Structure 1
Amino acid sequence: MAESGSREPVMRVEGITKSFGAVKVLRGVDLHLEAGEVLGVVGANGAGKSTLVKIITGYEVPDGGQMYLDGKPVQLRSVQDARSHGIETVFQDLALVDQLSVYHNLFLNREMTTGGRLRFLNNRRMRDDARRYLHDIQVDIPSVDVPVEKLSGGQRQAIAVARATRRDDVKILLLDEPLAAMGAREAKLIIDLVQSLAKKRGVSMVVIDHNYTHIFELCDRVNVVEQGRVVLDKRTKDTSLAELTEFMVSSYRQQIEEDSA
């Protein structure tokens, strides 16, 4: 995983705000992401994590603040706009088509075709490219021809991640609870995949997870979002699971006291 350097972060957001009616969800979020870094984002329900992710992925447009990619200001107006800047997302539902083969899922909505005016699926090329790419990122599955419904939970997650990062221009990947409901062996598959993509391909990642243990297994750095702001920014090697848990419990108690005052 990456070490922070002096160069411009691959992504930086400054003073991001967002309200829905009278409810202020984000109150000035500052966040940065280095090239090849895995950043964990945690916070209680309603803290603003999901809204922040939706803004980064172009699903929501912020009310204020500025986002920078490689130091250049950008305004993302749609999910497709974000993708054109190399930002992809894997949500918990994975968005896989269970009945389709692994290789068809890898090329879903980006199928390779052959022929002239009448186009046909180029299954041979998609199959070969799928095998090659999964081998390169060390994802081990029985066959690219099997329907994804036959795969384990970890393998399905790996295919979803592989599909999101298959393009060479993908710079940033957002992962929503990638280790949810997985055993140790399944989780290791995803942990190894995340670390490989970060180290070997330089893909930067933002991991949203409620399980703090997962954050320490996956991430270089952790940000805590509370009441619409980032209130803690620490490298995981400079803190601990116990310290993070205590910080979250203390913040929760303080919030309860303020609400009841």
Structure 2
Amino acid sequence: MTQTTSTGDSPMLSLRGIDKSFGAVQVLHSVDLDVRAGEVTALVGDNGAGKSTLVKCIAGIYTTDAGDFFFEGRRVHVHGPRDTAELGIEVVYQDLALCDNLDIVQNMFLGREKRRGVLLDEPTMEEMARQTLASLSVRTVRSVRQLVSSLSGGQRQTVAIAKAVLWNSKVVLLDEPTAALGVAQTRQVLDLVRRLADNGLGVVLISHNLNDVFEVADDITALYLGRSAATVRTRDVTSSQVVELITAGRSGELGLAPETLSATA
């Protein structure tokens, strides 16, 4: 991973002109995205709009074909997930990647265990797990030694998010964190998403639920057929306008230029 210094005020994470193709199919077309510290940026779009591909490009799972990747004002080249982790970018995928047969501490440190000599440093890991959950004001977990199999959907999501922020993360991407959750569990997760931003992290929320988006997001970036239709402040738009950006790429004066839309037809 190489870095080039850049000057001036800038978002924590900034993508410019990202292209990605799979064979003859171009999935992303010159996509832009900004993520600011202390804010939640919602990434919305219909199925096939390119959200998952963009997230995997940010995570280093896919290499981009073109475009620039800036982190804390520096231009960086990401060659794999290890590079993004070193920058302080963590992704919580929809499947959570938790092991049911392990407890919370074991899951949070899976693959990154603390050791004291040849033995696992269980006291240190327990304390770090407790402190991380406490810093996020998580009070629904009875014990950090609970098996993940005993947790509710909301609690599992909480553990996955806590695992992501345990490693001094600066940007966290959350892929559909409230999918398949009940009302109370959704409330718990949305409160946690907001606290992440309030603690100074840059948060990307990928969601189909516009009620969730309008409740916690500061910015909304809408993708349409692999293109950035618009990035707007949440307070400046209505849900209907965002739906139009998602489904048609344009809402009034917002969105893609008519000639661009004609080219995608």
How far residue 247 of structure 1 moved from its aligned partner, in angstroms, is: 3.8
2:176 is aligned to 177
CA distance in 2, matches of 1:159, 1:46: 29
1:220 is aligned to 218
How far residue 246 of structure 1 moved from its aligned partner, in angstroms, is: 3.8
Q: 2:38 aligns with which of 30, 36, 39?
A: 36
For residues 93-151 of structure 1, the C-alpha deviation after alignment (integer angstroms, 9 at most, x for no partner) is: 10111111111111111111113xxx111212211221222112111201111101101
User: Residue type matched to 1:167 in 2?
Assistant: W
How far residue 243 of structure 1 moved from its aligned partner, in angstroms, is: 2.6
1:149 is aligned to 149
Mapping for residues 113-128 of structure 1, pairs under 5 Å? 113-115=115-117, 119-128=118-127
2:72 matches 1:70: yes
* Structure 1: gaps (5+ residues): 1-5
RMSD: 2.1
2:240 is aligned to 242
Report how many aligned residue pairs link the two structures.
Answer: 248
SS of residue in 2 equivalent to 1:126 = helix
TM-score by length of 2: 0.88
User: Residue type matched to 1:195 in 2?
Assistant: R
User: Residue type matched to 2:207 in 1?
Assistant: D
Q: Is the 8 A contact 2:136 2:192 kept in 1?
A: yes
Quickly say closer, same or farther: Cα 1:155–1:90, change in 2 above 3 A: same
How far residue 55 of structure 1 moved from its aligned partner, in angstroms, is: 0.8
User: Residue type matched to 1:139 in 2?
Assistant: V
2:207 matches 1:205: no
1:130 is aligned to 129
How far residue 23 of structure 1 moved from its aligned partner, in angstroms, is: 0.7
Question: Identity of counterpart residues, as a percentage?
Answer: 41
CA distance in 1, matches of 2:122, 2:220: 42
CA distance in 2, matches of 1:27, 1:8: 23
1:3 is aligned to none
2:13 matches 1:19: no
Q: 1:8 aligns with which of 2, 7, 10?
A: 10
For residues 222-260 of structure 1, the C-alpha deviation after alignment (integer angstroms, 9 at most, x for no partner) is: 1111122111211111112233224434449x9xx9799
1:158 is aligned to 158
For residues 19-78 of structure 1, the C-alpha deviation after alignment (integer angstroms, 9 at most, x for no partner) is: 111111111112211112111111112211111111111111111111111111111100
* Structure 2: gaps (5+ residues): 1-7, 251-257
CA distance in 2, matches of 1:86, 1:234: 25
CA distance in 2, matches of 1:258, 1:70: 36
CA distance in 1, matches of 2:192, 2:107: 18
Quickly say closer, same or farther: Cα 1:230–1:147, change in 2 above 3 A: same
User: Residue type matched to 1:52 in 2?
Assistant: L
Deviation >2 Å, runs of 4+ = 245-252, 257-261
